[in-house]
């Protein structure tokens, strides 16, 4: 079964308001963890249930210590980031981007540029290839400087020998 064919339902802590969407019991449980609601252990898969809501839609209900969204910093950041963009199936795109190693600032900039949530979360990050023939680039790598940092210093007008050997104060040369 492809991920696009999954049935997506809302998620709510038992006795609380909807906090997001998930495709399975485990995903619903993890969403509650992610948002700081402290769900009870998932020892018994029947603890998380699929129930009918007042409006007739189905909702995953998760027994949690908290029924309201607690505003601790980590939970707040997760909720804010999850709200930036969604995948085609309606789930938040940020957790997928996080799994794929996309930095949050990169993800956010992609969304700002008009990329779909799907593309922003799944498209890899460009790696700059090291040129082993460039002796100063080799020295920069030996000094713990990345290829990107070295090249941006040179492009900004810094001589290669200084760009490869200077620390953070390279602009004072």
**In a shared domain, residues 58 and 87:** no
Predicted TM-score of the model (pTM): 0.52
Judge whether 173 lies within some domain: no
**In a shared domain, residues 139 and 121:** no
Domain carrying residue 104: 83-126
Would you call 8 helix, strand, or coil by DSSP? coil
Main-chain phi, psi angles of 120, to 5 degrees: -60, -35
**pLDDT for the residue numbered 1:** 42
**Sign of the alpha-carbon torsion through 31, 33, 37, 42:** positive
- Token look-up 């908290």 returns 66
**In a shared domain, residues 56 and 87:** no
**pLDDT for the residue numbered 109:** 92
Task: Indicate the residue among 55, 73, 91 that finishes a domain.
Answer: 73
Judge whether 78 lies within some domain: no
Task: Indicate the residue among 32, 55, 73 that finishes a domain.
Answer: 73
| Strand ranges, E, within the chain | 9-13, 20-22, 49-52, 58-62
Question: How do strand 49-52 and strand 58-62 relate by DSSP bridges?
Answer: antiparallel
Per the structure, the count of domains in the chain is 3
Q: Whose CA is closest to 67, among 21, 25, 115, 11? A: 11
Per-residue pLDDT of the chain (173 residues; tens, 9 = 90+): 444 456 888 888 888 888 888 888 888 888 888 888 888 888 776 788 878 777 778 888 888 888 776 666 677 777 778 888 888 888 888 888 888 888 888 899 999 999 999 999 998 877 778 888 888 889 988 888 888 888 888 888 888 888 888 866 555 55
């Amino acid at each position: 079964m492809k991920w696009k064919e999954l049935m997506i339902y809302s998620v709510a802590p038992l006795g609380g308001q909807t906090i997001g969407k998930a495709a399975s019991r485990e995903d619903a449980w993890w969403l509650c963890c992610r948002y700081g609601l402290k769900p009870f252990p998932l020892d018994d898969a029947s603890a998380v249930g699929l129930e009918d809501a007042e409006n007739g839609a189905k909702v995953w209900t998760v027994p949690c210590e908290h029924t309201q969204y607690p505003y601790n910093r980590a939970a707040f950041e997760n909720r804010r980031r999850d709200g930036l963009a969604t995948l085609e199936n309606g789930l938040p795109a940020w957790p997928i981007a996080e799994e794929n190693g996309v930095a949050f600032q990169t993800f956010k900039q992609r969304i700002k540029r008009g990329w779909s949530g799907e593309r922003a979360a799944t498209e890899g990050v460009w790696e700059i290839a090291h040129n082993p023939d460039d002796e100063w680039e080799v020295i920069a790598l030996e000094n713990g400087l990345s290829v990107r940092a070295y090249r941006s210093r040179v492009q900004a007008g810094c001589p290669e020998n200084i760009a490869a050997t200077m620390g953070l104060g390279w602009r004072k040369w």
